[in-house]
Every structure is written in structure tokens, then in C-alpha cells.
Amino acid sequence: MITVLETGVLNSVQDAGRFGYRHLGVSTSGVMDPLALRCGNSLLGNAPEAACIEVQTFPFKVRFDKAVSFVVTGGEGTITLGERVIQPWSVATAQAGDALTLDRPSVGARMYVCVCGGIDVPVVLGSRSTQLRGGFGGYLGRPLQVDDQLAGVGGCVPDGFGAVPPLRALARSQGRRKRKNRDFAGSSRNRLFSVHRRSAHSFLVRLLADYSAKQPAGLPSERGGFEADAPC
């Protein structure tokens, strides 16, 4: 069981979404960041569509009433489990009575609390997502409130590992691409300079050869050229 201790508006239970009912006027709902959901579920060994808590307003605080492994994905902010700071996008294990607190992220807008096995709420029209406009799905068809109790499938998995947040991975990839382009440009300039240097050398050799051919015969001078014979 997961008990909500502190929450803001519009924090709700969501999954991958409710598809195939648009013709009936039922919107898709689901998480705003599908990649964060899929990555969190993958780290925990959940099904890709397992439900999570989507947190849009902060601070947000819950208490775990039994031991369970979890991952917080999405935006990057301060995450604490009791007195311990938890890394985002990494698997951690809470013990019974531990409180998880999420502060407003400095990067991104939303955070996602994925638990081992997923959040266990009734499936409505093929999804556990909260449909706020229709007032169904999720937890009683509404945003979470203080003292709400969510059932989780529960369980623990090995922890202490995680994934690189997508924004960091993208920044690293762009950095490598820039370095590669810079190295390529540098090597291109070096090749171009080498071509010019060889061309200049050939030109000077031909120029000196032409100059030497036009000079009168004589003895080599100290400067490497030729001195004309003195008149008789």
C-alpha cells in the first residue's frame, strides 16, 4: 500500500494510455512522457504499460507501507527517501514506513513514480489511466488527494543501477558529434594545408630552377646562388 502524504493538483495515476475509443468521445489520457514510463517499467521488470503516478505539481510525498522497489523518472529534481537522496532514473528499494519526497524538478516539468509490479487500480476501457474529464479510471477517476491509499503489486528487485537520463544522453551524443565534426574539420584543414604546402614547395623548386638556368655560369656563392665570372 502507498499512502499519499502531500500532493498538489492534477497528480494522478496514469499508464501508456487508452486507445481505440476516440470515436466515442473518450480521449487517450495516459502519461505525457511515454519514454519515462517505459524506461521506469523496464528497469523494474514491469510490463511496458504498467501504471505509475504522474506528478505535475510539487512537493509530492508518499509513504510506502511495505518494502518495494521503485524508480523515479522524468524531470530531474531532489528526490529523498527518508533522509537519503535518491538518484533519478535509478532503481531504489524502500522499506516499510519509508517516505518518498519529490521536490520541483530543475530540469523537465513532470516526474513519474514507477513501482515494482505497477500501481494496481481497476482497468477501465483497456487502461488504468485517469480520465479527468470523464471522471473514471485511475484512482476513483480523480487527481490524488492527501490520505489516498494506492495498492501496488509490490515486490523487490536488485537496486543500485539505472539509466542515463535522455537529456544527458542527448547532450553527450551532441558533444561527441561536435567533437567529431571539429576533428574532421581540423583534419580537413591539415590536409588542405599539406596540399598547399606541397604545391608551394613545387612552385619554389621550379622558380629556383628557372632562375638558376637564366644565370650565367660561375662559382657557387656563399648564399647558395651563383656568381658571374669576373670580366677578363
Q: Cell 480520465: give the residue.
A: 131
**pLDDT at 132 exceeding the cut of 70:** yes
Identify the H or E element spanning 103: none
Instruction: Say how far apart CA 22 and CA 119 lie, in whole Å.
Output: 25
Task: Reply yes or no on whether the pLDDT at 193 is more than 80.
Answer: no
Ordered by start, the domain boundaries in the chain are: 2-163, 164-216
- pLDDT per position as a tens digit, 73-119: 999 999 999 999 999 999 999 999 999 999 999 999 999 999 999 99
Model confidence over 143-192: pLDDT tens digits? 999 999 999 888 999 999 999 998 888 887 776 666 655 555 555 445 54
Cβ-based neighbours of 146, under 8 Å, separated by 6 or more = 4, 5, 6, 7
**pTM of the predicted protein model:** 0.75
